[in-house]
Structure 1
Amino acid sequence: MAISILHIWDTAGVASILSKYLRKCYNVKSDVVNINTLDPFNITAFYYGRCYPKRTLTTIKFLVKGLNYKIIHVHSAYRFVKYFRRIYPFKRIVMHFHGEDVRCTGWDNLKQIIRQSNLILVSTPDLLEGAPDNVVYLPNPVDIDHFKPNLNLRREKTALYFLKHQRKEDLKWTKEIVKQYNLKLYIHDRKRKPIPYSQLPPFLNSFEFYIDPSYPHAVSKTALEAMACGLKVVLWNGEIIDKLPEEHNPFRVAKKLWSLYQEIL
C-alpha cells in the first residue's frame, strides 16, 4: 500500500498547507477533513479539503474514511486518537498539537494519547516545555504561493492589529508600540468581520506593519503570513522581522515531515 495520509481537522490551515506541499514534493495522496464551524475563514475549502457539519455522525465518517489511508494525522483533536487506535490497531497515528490543546490540558494529562500515537508533533517551540523527550517540533508552514509581497498595492504607514478579546493587555502594549514608531493603528476584529483566507494576502499587503504580541511567546501563524507578504512584524519582545524565516518555508517543512513519516512506517 502506497503512503497515503488523512489529516483530521485543519488547525490554522496547517493541515491543508502540509497536504499541498506533500503532494507537490512527493506526489502522495494527502487529504484533509474538517468541521464547518472550525473553518470560519474558509481555509480548508480554499485548498479543496472536505468540511462536514458538527454531528456525532461526522466522527463516524472520519473513522470510516481512515480505512483507506496508511497514516492518520490528527491536528489538535486528540480525543480522536483513542478511537482510531481502537479501530485500526496497526495504522500509523500522528498527533499534532497546536497550542491551547496542550496549554489547557497539560502534558501529564496526555500520557494515554502519547502512548497510542506513533509520532507526536508540536507547532511552536514553546510547547516543548515539559514535553516528553520523543515530542518533535515541526514549524508551521506558510503557503508562499499564496502569501507574497504585492508591489502593485500601496502600503499605508499603518500598523495592523487583529483584536484578541481575551487579551486586553495586548491592545495596551500595541498602542505603546505604534506610539513609539509614530504609526497609525488599524484594529480589525476578525470574529465580527471575518476575512476570507482567499482575501487575506491583499488585505495584509495594504499595511506596512503587523503587531503580534503573542502569548505565550510564540510567533502566530498570521504573523508568519504577514512576514511572507513583506510586512514589518513587531513581535512580543520588540524585535521586528520583515522576512519569513527559512524554517517556515513549506518545502522545507514538508521534507522534514516526510522524513518523520518514513521513520514510523
Structure 2
Amino acid sequence: MRILHVDDAAAVSCILAKYQQHIQGHNSKVIKYDRYDKFGFYKFYKDYVTIAASDEQFLKHIIEDAKSADIVHIHTRADMVIKLRNKFGKSKKIILHYHGTDIRGLNKQKLPHRSRVSDIAISLILKYRKIRNILLLKKRIHYKAQNLANAVIVSTPDLLNYASTKNDAVRKLYLPNPIDLDVFKPDAIMSSTINDDIKKNAVTMDNEVTDIPWALEYLEKNNINLDITVHDRMKHPLMYRDLPNFLKQYKTYVDIRYVNKKIIPALSKTALEALACGLDVL
C-alpha cells in the first residue's frame, strides 16, 4: 500500500511513515513544507521526508505523489483535503489529522525573547497563523474538509469535540501520538537504583502554549512538592536527537498543560516520550 503523509506536527508523520515501512511493509513517505527545522526532526528522519521550500513546490510535490498513493494522510492542513478532493474526486482515501492548536486554536502565544529581531520575526509568523486560522474558520474550511475526508483523526480526546462532521461515513478516531521506541527507551546498562541516586528530581517544558506559573501554583495548591527544573524550549530548543538523554537525567516529567484556561486531559508527546525513557509522569 502507498501512503502519503502531507505536512507534520512534532515528527508524528515521520514516525508513522517509519513504522508503516518497517513494521507493516507499506510504501510510506512524508512531504513537509518547512524552511526551518528548529528541533531537528526532519534531519533526523531525512530518509522518510521530502522538504518543500515554498508553497508552490509543496503543492506540486503533493499532487505528483498523490497520483500513485492509496491513502493521503493530511496533518493539520485542512485546506489540502479540499484541494485534493477537487483534484482526484473519490479515487483517493483521505485522512485529516488534527494535533491541537491547529483546530483548538490558541488565545495567547508567548515569545521566546532571545532577541528583539527574533521576537519580531516570530510575532509576525504567529500573527500570520492566527489570521490564517480565523480565515479558515470564517470560510468553514474545517467543516468542509472534515466532511470530505474519509476519516478524521485527533491526537487528544478533547479534540473529538471539534470534529463536527454530519457525514456518517466519516470516521472520527482518537489516535495517541506515536513514539519512536528505537529512540526513546530506558538505559539498559545501569540499574534503576543507581540511576535514582544520580538523577535530578523533576522537569517540565515551557513552550509557546503552556502556562508554567499556573501549573506550578496548581502543584503547590495540591501539596505536590517537587524540585522542578523548567526548561524553556523557546529560548533553548532541544534537538530531537538529544531529547532522550536530556529526559533521562530526571526521575519525573511534569505534564500539566493549561491552555486557553483549560487543563488538557491527555499526555503530551513529550510526556509519552518520557514514559518510554522510564520516567514517572505527573
Give the shorter-chain TM-score range.
Answer: 0.7 to 0.9
- 1:156 CA drift (Å): 2.3
Corresponding residue to 2:249 among 189, 194, 206: 206
If the length of structure 1 is used for normalisation, what is the TM-score?
Answer: 0.78
- 1:129 CA drift (Å): 2.3
Q: Whole-Å Cα distance in 2 between the matches of residues 182 and 111 of structure 1?
A: 44
Instruction: Indicate if the aligned counterparts of 1:159 and 1:207 stay in contact, CA closer than 8 A.
Output: yes
Q: Whole-Å Cα distance in 2 between the matches of residues 5 and 178 of structure 1?
A: 47
Q: In the alignment, what sits opposite 2:113?
A: none
1:160 aligns with 2:203: yes
Q: In the alignment, what sits opposite 1:119?
A: 151
Instruction: Indicate if the aligned counterparts of 2:66 and 2:72 stay in contact, CA closer than 8 A.
Output: yes
- 1:99 CA drift (Å): 1.3
Q: What is the SS of the residue equivalent to 1:203? A: helix
Corresponding residue to 2:213 among 135, 151, 171: 171
- 1:63 CA drift (Å): 2.0
RMSD value, Cα: 2.5
Instruction: Indicate if the aligned counterparts of 1:8 and 1:75 stay in contact, CA closer than 8 A.
Output: yes
- 1:103 CA drift (Å): 1.2
Give 1 or 2 for the bigger CA radius of gyration.
Answer: 2
Instruction: Quickly say closer, same or farther: Cα 1:187–1:37, change in 2 above 3 A.
Output: farther
Q: How does 1:1-265 map to 2 (within 5 A)?
A: 3-37=1-35, 39-47=37-45, 48=47, 49-89=49-89, 90-104=91-105, 110-129=142-161, 131=163, 132=165, 134-150=171-187, 154=195, 155-168=198-211, 170-174=212-216, 177=219, 180-215=223-258, 216-234=264-282
Q: Whole-Å Cα distance in 2 between the matches of residues 205 and 75 of structure 1?
A: 30
Which amino acid is the alignment partner of residue 142 of structure 1? I
If the length of structure 2 is used for normalisation, what is the TM-score?
Answer: 0.73
- 1:109 CA drift (Å): 5.7
Q: Which runs of no fewer than 5 residues in structure 1 stay unpaired?
A: 235-265
Instruction: Indicate if the aligned counterparts of 2:32 and 2:58 stay in contact, CA closer than 8 A.
Output: no
Instruction: Quickly say closer, same or farther: Cα 1:33–1:57, change in 2 above 3 A.
Output: closer
Q: What is the SS of the residue equivalent to 2:11? A: helix
Q: How many residues align?
A: 231
- 1:176 CA drift (Å): 5.6
Instruction: Indicate if the aligned counterparts of 2:155 and 2:174 stay in contact, CA closer than 8 A.
Output: yes
Q: State the identity as a percent.
A: 34
Instruction: Indicate if the aligned counterparts of 1:178 and 1:184 stay in contact, CA closer than 8 A.
Output: no
- 1:56 CA drift (Å): 3.0
Instruction: Indicate if the aligned counterparts of 1:121 and 1:138 stay in contact, CA closer than 8 A.
Output: yes
